Chain A
Amino acid sequence: MRLLDRSARAGSPLTRLVLGRLLLLPVLLAVVTLVMFVLAQQTPFDPVLAALGERALTMDGPTLEAMRDRAGDTGAVQQWAAWWGNALQGDLGVSSSQRAPVATVIAQRLPWTLGLMAVSLVLAVAGGVLVGGLAGTRPGSWADRVAGGGLLSVQAAPPFWTGLVAVWVFAVWLGWLPTGGATSPDTDAVEPFDVLRHAVLPVLVLALSQLPWFGLVVRDATRDALAGLPVRAGWARGIPTSRLLRQHAVRPALLPLVTVVGVRVPELITGAVLVETVFSWPGVASATVDSALRLDFSLLAALTVLTTVIVVLGNLAADVAYRVVDPRVGQRDG
């Protein structure tokens, strides 16, 4: 009876959650881009180019200048509307810094960023669980102190600095790995082993920058679980200590991690921006910095929209996963 009741109701809050977020997303995107277009009026940025879409690619200088003069009078809101009109038809405009349609730039660069982020995330979570679990199951021990201090220090180290140190040690001093890029300059083809060699440092540095957070979350949750009644009850039942620690202390601590992963997407993107810049990784994150430095409004606008979408979807995935994994959420108190 209880089970039946639950499954009947389970759909509705979840659906409401998903629908709510998906409805919020366009509003958020509209507001963010509108603010960008309005602010850009007073700056050296050229939103007109963005509003023109890919037509700008086929125009010569004087025509463009004329268009710019005419468009300059139309105001930010019209430009914004024109940009969205084009964007919804797949035309994201021309990137002035990359000299190519924005859509092409993103299509080429996005896989590099997603790959970097995905592998780093997996490594960071695995490492965080390992370190946090080890420290959390031995509260107050030297392992706990070392792990705690180490995690805090790593967290306090900016990823761009860790990256530079890694470049100096492994690329310059030891000469084991390349200093940057994703492929060797002398080859045009993308060879898996070559990419792997180039990816080692960026992936490890990004993973290291995200690891402390997961580690500290797991450590605290493990400590809490360890102090709770279930562990004592398990001990009194005669469960061997190592199993007790793994199953009854660390495992409950992994549940909060599920939400944490999704919530960390913005931090992961922040880390990716810095790591891609340090290692000249050809992803979208370093392109964001490029577009900002080189006054490339079309690209910056498109990348901001892309980032927002990724983050919102990441948060949503985390919330959904949490509800699916933990049946307790959303049942207590309605």
Chain B
Amino acid sequence: MNYSYDFASIPDYMIKIMTAFPVTLEILLISLLISLLLGAAVAAGSLGRKPVIVAISRGYISFMRGIPTLVLIFLLYLGLPQILQGCGVNISSWNKMFFIIATLGLNTSANMAEMMRAAYLAVDKGQLEAAYSVGMKGTTAFRRIIYPQAFGIAIPMLGNNIINLFKETSLAFTVGVIDILGKARAITSASYGANKLETYIATGIIFWIVCVALEQGSKYLEGVYTKGRKQAAS
């Protein structure tokens, strides 16, 4: 058995792998947008007054939190085309990006919904009453008073959700999209499986750097946003 490793080559691999970073970024940003929009709708549903909609929203969140991302990818990528085929719709030729983005968008939307719900509930009830007491409408009170405070509360959680989403983009290779991990796999298979360890470590380091940057960014944003008006301790 040959266990010779060439760790000095890792930076070179990192540079090669980074050529696929725009694909990773595209997946991240589009699925982030979807997850925020969908998450907002689900959060609103779960906080609403209609029992049926509350139940559906809660069920959606719970379902998405129970299913492994990989299984959801398989369901959408392998299963969905079969179902739609039965209905006479052919989506098997669709861009593979669609499937990974849809999976991550759906999956993350549940986390986003939970985040928004928790942040909304964390805003003191008196704030809404005070807004009403000066004559605001519900929508105005949300826009001017509740949302700005909830956003500040949600920032750390939002950072976490984005980091998790970013990590999950690594499953894009499953449907054959060449993101950074896909690129790493392509490099190793081009050299017949040699240097596997080096390329995976190189990919790991890229994820590490970006995650640390995202984390710092989130902390910075939180600091700027809540400057001078920390949540009251009580």
Co-assembled chains A and B: no
